[in-house]
Structure 1
Amino acid sequence: MTNENEETSHGLIKTPGQTLLAASLGFLAPVFVIMGLVYYYSSAPKMAPGGDNSAQSIDQRIQKVGKLEVSDNSPRAAHSAEEVYKAQCAACHASGAAGAPKFGDAAAWAPRIKQGLEALEHSALKGKGAMPPQAGGQFDDTEIARAVVYMANAAGAKFEEPAAASDDASAASEPAAAAPASAPAPAASAAAEKPAAGESSATPAPTPEQPAAGESSATPAAASPAPTQTASAEDDAHAAAGKKIYDTTCAACHGTGVAGAPKFGDKAAWAPRLAAGFDEVLKIATHGKGAMPPKGGSNASDADFKAAVEYLVNSAR
């Protein structure tokens, strides 16, 4: 009994190594607890630099990172250099906004032409300064290169305009002359028109389209009117057209605020303009003002361009 009491009285720590381990754990455990608390509180969500709790800022933070677009992949005719210039490049190059070399200004284009066509195409496709890649447009690389050659040659260059792949394909796939139409099939045989011998020539039974003798031919009209497009679908198409024109034309200046253009969603910059009313804003946008050419250089219809102005204005309301 005495030996058992002596062993129990020593407790759990019986060796110097166990003593050292217990002391280490007693020191390290609080350290790890403190580190965990610091990490927990420091990992809380933080506001991005320049962000706030406004509705616009929240919408920008939670906006979709991608979208699915279903497009027609059938071959299309390539746009000409002049069409691409008017639709995309004229917004800045026609007036020289944001330091862009003006169309036809040989002095401004001379140092750029010396760099060669490859350097000019690279700047146009990848973006440079205030100009976004492809100026924010939706043309392919060859069409953008054509527009670059068009502007450079207007300032004295002698670059050769690249040919689009669709041009070669359309030239190779021209349909051959249509073969003469075959003669119409011969008329039905007389045997089909006349009953065979021994067969009754009585009038066939009336079809559902032809009432029997004695029956009234008055049939109530059961045709229902063709369905029409709903107002909501029209509104969606109108808004989609406006957003597309903004993305391809207006964003080049209003997306970055170059040449004094009020930025997209900037309520403070748009407030004095909206004070004059939407009709006045639409009038200025249609006819141009300052560095902005008429319709921002877009060749869209009046209805589609109005949708783009509405999309731009609604972002700042």
Structure 2
Amino acid sequence: MSSNKTRKQLMAVVMALIWALVLDIGTALAKEAERSGKDVVDAVCGNCHNSGKDGAPKIGNKQAWSQRTANGLGALTQHALKGIRKMPAHGGNPDVSDFEIQRAITHMVNLSGGNWTEPTNKKAKTADRSGKDIVNMQCIKCHKTGVNGAPKLGDRDAWIPRAVNGMDALVRSAINGHGGMPARGGMANLTDTEMREAVIYMFDQSIKGPH
């Protein structure tokens, strides 16, 4: 009897350990399932950004957000991670991951007149993409036909005057946004190096004259 009782007790301990392991795995998997920008805004960011509480830029206020988007997603993410003015770090919710914050910022920017691409894979390669890749992926949407006054790819006469102040000035203009072009061409996760490569590629292709 004593032996049976001991076995039952051991079995109970084993089952408890198994259930604890299952719960830990479930929690880990749940954390891996990153929420969308909308989900995070609805659950966390909207508490202040829906109304503009404590000076937070109100969702939908194009002017307030345009002043903040010029430096790109990286700078805005750092502000949100560390906290700025009356906004606490991580928006006051430490369970929100860095990646989810990037998505939430992008969602709010897009609701406020922006046209950013929401990050889709936190494990995406960090290597810089080529200028040609970026142009074909994003820039061509406007520069192929001259949407909103964008200089058309291949139009030598349109590109030459834009480089009169040097390539650095032209790249800065693309990074910060200019005229009808949003900051970083509306693709917030482009690095400064990638922006430079894209601008140089378009310029080089265009000064050769019409294709």
TM-score higher than 0.5: no
Identify the TM-score tier after normalising by the shorter chain. Answer: 0.3 to 0.5
| Greater fraction of residues in helix | 2
In our comparison, the structure showing a higher alpha carbon Rg is 1
Normalising by structure 2, we get a TM-score of 0.43
